[in-house]
Structure 1
Amino acid sequence: MTNKQIARLKLACFILALLPLIRLVAAVFLDKLGANPVEFITRNTGDWTLYLLCMTLAITPLRKLLHWPWLIRFRRMTGLFTFFYAILHFTTFLWFDHFFDWQEMWLDVLKRPFITVGFTAFVLLIPLALTSTNRMIRLLGGKFWQRLHRLVYIVAVLGVLHYTWMKAGKHDFSQPVLFGLIVALLLMLRLWWRWFGRDPVVVLK
């Protein structure tokens, strides 16, 4: 794939990653957020954080399995969009639930386990986003940078746990189970390559 084709694909991915936000803003202006607008925005931004996190984790396995080395050039973008929607998710919680009362928010984080887990995942995303540039890779050194960015695996597990706990109140585990299976598969593929150093037997036809 040529650089021009990759540039076009990256532009298309950038626009697609913005569509959930555009739809959300449109829903605000068209008054289509339902009976509980805060819950709608919170769930929407949280869902897209997880979707994009799974996409980011899927890039390396797909690159190896499909032998598409150019896919790696999309990982930074999807990772930063994951952080972007995580910021929107957290800001919704801080703004509409606590009206920027940091003390009250902190007490809520300590009191409610599913918020504790989600907040921890968000905090762990911050150094990953801040060190996503080529300059930071050079400053930190490639090996340390790679070790630091393995935090994304912890973030993924915490994110699924946060989502599962949130859905537990409604006894709806279908989506949490799906997210859990996807994250488990993506992490197991990485463990396979780390332990055995070769591709698992996968038939792609």
Structure 2
Amino acid sequence: MQAVNQALRRVPSWVVYPLGLLPFLWLVFRGVTGDLGVDPVKEVEHSLGLTALQFILGGLVITPLRWLTGINLIRYRRAVGLVAFFYACLHLLVWLVLDIQLRWGEIWSDLVRRPYIAIGMVALLILIPLAVTSNTASIRKLGKNWVKLHRMVYVVAILGAVHFLMVVKAWPTEPLIYLALSVLLVGFRLYHLFVVRG
């Protein structure tokens, strides 16, 4: 495992950003080739939201992976979180511009009639301060409060998975798997925080 970690040290954290763009570029390619199905707006909206959730869970798995295997990916966690925020913002932008077409009067109506939209909004609002403070200056300024603030990603993961499940409006396997993974990862982190560390 030491050899793996030594090899990882040679890979700069900025590599996460171009790699993180690959799902977006693939989505663009699918759009250009007409491979987005009968409702391309919904497909783009869904794909961006799902990618955001995947990166959120990817960020959450980094610490347990180190505990269980010794593989240290901590230096990439900030970039992973920022990529997740990028996709969450794109997800919202597609909904506002392409789906609801900036009909602002309908936003409040949708928030009331469709709880999954409100849940998604809350998750994104929580992500904003996490993204804004994802820098060295904020870590130094906030100290221990920075760690407490960034534990809110646990809430984001659960809300994101619930949002996904409610969007589908059924009980298929995929959203249930994401919800189970979210609960498992958050539960593991909380167990380590309150039981193992005391």
TM-score past 0.5 threshold: yes
State the TM-score, normalizing by the size of structure 2. Answer: 0.89
The equivalent position to 1:89 in structure 2, one of 84, 91, 98, is 91
The runs of 4+ residues in structure 1 deviating greater than 6 Å are: none
C-alpha RMSD of matched pairs (Å): 1.8
Task: Give the gaps of 5 or more residues in structure 1.
Answer: 199-205
Deviation at 1:150, TM superposition (A): 1.3
2:155 alignment partner in structure 1: 154
Contact between 2:57 and 2:182, CA under 8 Å: does it hold in 1?
Answer: yes
Matches of 2:107 and 2:10, distance apart in 1: 41
Question: Which amino acid letter does the alignment assign opposite residue 104 of structure 1?
Answer: E
Measured in 2, the distance between the counterparts of 1:64 and 1:142 equals 23
Q: Give 1:86 deviation, angstroms.
A: 0.2
Q: Match of 2:54, as an amino acid? A: Y
In the superposition, relative to structure 1, how do residues 114 and 142 fare at CA in structure 2: closer, same or farther (>3 Å)? same
Aligned residue for 1:203? none
**Whole-Å separation in 1 of the counterparts to 2:192 and 2:40:** 44
Cα-to-partner distance string for 1:135-176 (whole Å, 9 max, x where unaligned) = 11122x2211111111111111111111111112xx342112
Which residue number in structure 1 is paired with residue 194 of structure 2?
195
**TM-score normalized by the length of structure 1:** 0.86
**Which residue of the partner structure matches residue 115 of structure 1?**
117
**Distance of 2:172 and 2:37 partners within structure 1:** 22
96 and 7 in structure 1: CA distance in 2 versus 1, 3 angstrom threshold: farther
2:69 — aligned with what? Answer: 66
The residue that corresponds to 1:183 in the other structure is 182
Letter in 1 for 2:156: V
Deviates more, 1:89-98 or 1:28-37: 28-37
Query: Matches of 1:63 and 1:5 in 2, distance apart?
Result: 13
| Structure 2: distance between partners of 1:175 and 1:142 | 38
Matches within 5 A, 1:6-25: 6-8=9-11, 10=13, 12-25=15-28
The number of equivalent residue pairs is 193
Q: Report the Cα distance in structure 2 between the residues aligned to 1:143 and 1:102, rounded to whole angstroms.
A: 39
Change (3 A) 1:48 1:187: same
The range that moved more, 185-194 or 98-107, is 98-107
SS at match of 1:8: coil
Q: Which residue matches 1:36?
A: 39
Q: Of 126, 142, 145, which aligns to 1:124?
A: 126
C-alpha distance in 2, partners of 1:153/1:38?
29
Change (3 A) 1:36 1:58: same
